[in-house]
Structure 1
């Protein structure tokens, strides 16, 4: 039992009457000698109680002992279920009141010393052990809450619990989105960090949004190597328990592809026989900004001064290495993407061989072409001078030189040929008529003359030359493609002469 409660003991003998009683507490005789005694308990009343019954001063009966425990009424424990005691308007607050000993306690709640009744804004749990309400700053910014406990059907009332003080703000805080570095335009490979900040109270959890889609819960969001897909509008929001603040301001970033550096060969084709050096130039593609350049040979920086051009000589690079370059500047973007490797090994030798072969092929094709034109033009002349090629009949000149051996038939045929003029080239057979007979005359072309055979041989020779040079031309095209494809380590790169 608890201090302040009353307890009654009764000593009674069920037979006969006229009994006298004597009370004891821990071997101490109590003054009271009635059949029943009532004690308003205090801590000092804790002990073992028993009694004796006597009649005529003769002890006849002794009762059993009853141990009476007396405890101090405990103080209820008041705990906020919210971890934070600074709250904002309409934020839900929940408090609990508990007794560590026994059960069956009921609880009452007080705000600034006034009893709290349940209503539409205040919810009191079973036996009053909890209370929930939404904070309201209209009354006081500082509010003290306490609770008391009592046992059902007993006059046991505890003292007030220790107080819990709530600080209620007039308005909810703002959520700030912070970006570092503060650039709206980023380039691939850049790093950027976002932080969501609430400068009042603590215990916040954060929600992140990109273009309205939630994607993470933390107080910060880091992008270590930005990509184009990271372009978007970023916002954040803070919450604790069921209380959620408004979203932060929008933060828009745009991520563009970082400019690409490219190595260009300045040494032209016409210079390959007159120089042993290669002049390379670094250029940032699709950029009108002013750049400085860093050169790398096999991934190791070369050149003391950042310059646009770099000269490769047998002295500074006897191994003919791979070269790359990268643009650098003080403004953003501060650097470009490193160029693809440019291979210089045997580059001059390849070009010299390619130019030599192509020159030979070119002049060979020209000669073959001119030969074709020559024989094409000469063929009709041979046909027109057919009478001079005739070995079967004498020409006019020979006839005059051999007048003593002249023949009327020959004169007739020759005169007829001269009078009639040249015949068609396609006339292969001529007829010589007399009064009684017809004489068939054939040309030496039909008889396989040496000139005809020579002409046929020439045409066959020209045809073979044409076929040979055609095949060589095809091989030349393939050689150009292979040489160009392997000139820079397999990359199909077109080199341009730049002034």
Structure 2
């Protein structure tokens, strides 16, 4: 019985202990002040909250490590050094003697807004230019701005700062903001380095630079270094005049083509005409007050067409010249305009085309006594009122080694003579090909002549039977002979005694067989050939007799198939013809 009661008491005590364990209070960490977000430099108050009972002794932990000296319900920390994970727990002497330990509560630092500095205009900055610095802080607007130059803190100011003389204030600039509410301060900006370059320069290009009437011409202007915010203005050059805007070297004054310009980098002349020839410049400006670049180097629009008022002439009249020669250029005036001067443009710029070095001036003519490669360039004449002549592009080159102008002249002359000779030879060859009067050599022996033959009777018995197959037909060749008693072996032509006499002759009728077509002469007596008669001894059945003969050279032309060259036939065998006798009356 006693044993049973002991078991019941033990069970009740166990149940009571278990009930108390389930009812332990739960602790938690809360931020009392300030409210999140928390910023660096702020003092943060934390509280350990346990809903039941009040006689707790508090235990604090940061990152699972005890704060040995902190036992109060609240604790104060300073950021950012004490940021971390915080826990707390309550302990007491009565039941319950402890609370649950609280979950981790992170205490972290939120970075304050960061200030930034910008500059306008952007890009490269120039000495004398006015610029504006701007301090920007995101998220809030009630800032008081502080500017730093080389880490020196000046008095507070506005969010923007204007610098008007950059050359005196090249430095590092920073800013930051302050305010009464949280966050009370921004982070300081990164340093902005302000530096300047030399005076800016505009660069002009013209396309095309040689004008044809009616073309559109485009002027393009850029600032030499990369930068932004420019507006462009365009000008035409005129001879220098006091009181007009002028280039730095006073080589030209300028007249405005457009006002304080446009953001467009190009200007178009459309259509361009003779009055548009001449020089052009541009410049750019930006800011308020406006800061201007220097004028660009002049660029020129040229025309090769002769102008009505003036033209430039060259002597020698060519554009290619050689060194160490004389060259003259003349401004040929055609009106009453005055003040003309010769100008020259090279890659280095524009200058007077007739400087004293190796040059002389006579009237409107400039003579270069000894040319050099440096004399190459575009030359033109311009008047005091801004009129321009045509332009010529002259190139001066060095002659190759061992070569001179006289040698070149001789070479060219030789080539011309050779061409003329070849032409003459060609014409002669053509003439020879058409010539038909060549013959092969023939010997025509003659029968012993009689003095009383009737020519009519001999007509049928004296037809020529030439063994040469190359000639036959109707062209007659007559060989006139003297009477047998009056033949002179060394004489030429036909001889007769006074009064009437017998004349011995041979009639030959050759015809070319190698020609397919030939025109017959209208007169059957045309193309007669008269030759010298000779006498030789020969033997007949009745004994030695004198034989009278004529020697005729005939040459036959042969045309080759591929090369049109004439050749002579080899000498053929002798052909003998009968001789006829006719009576003639002397006058």
TM-score, length-normalised on structure 1? 0.40
Name the one with the larger helix percent: 1
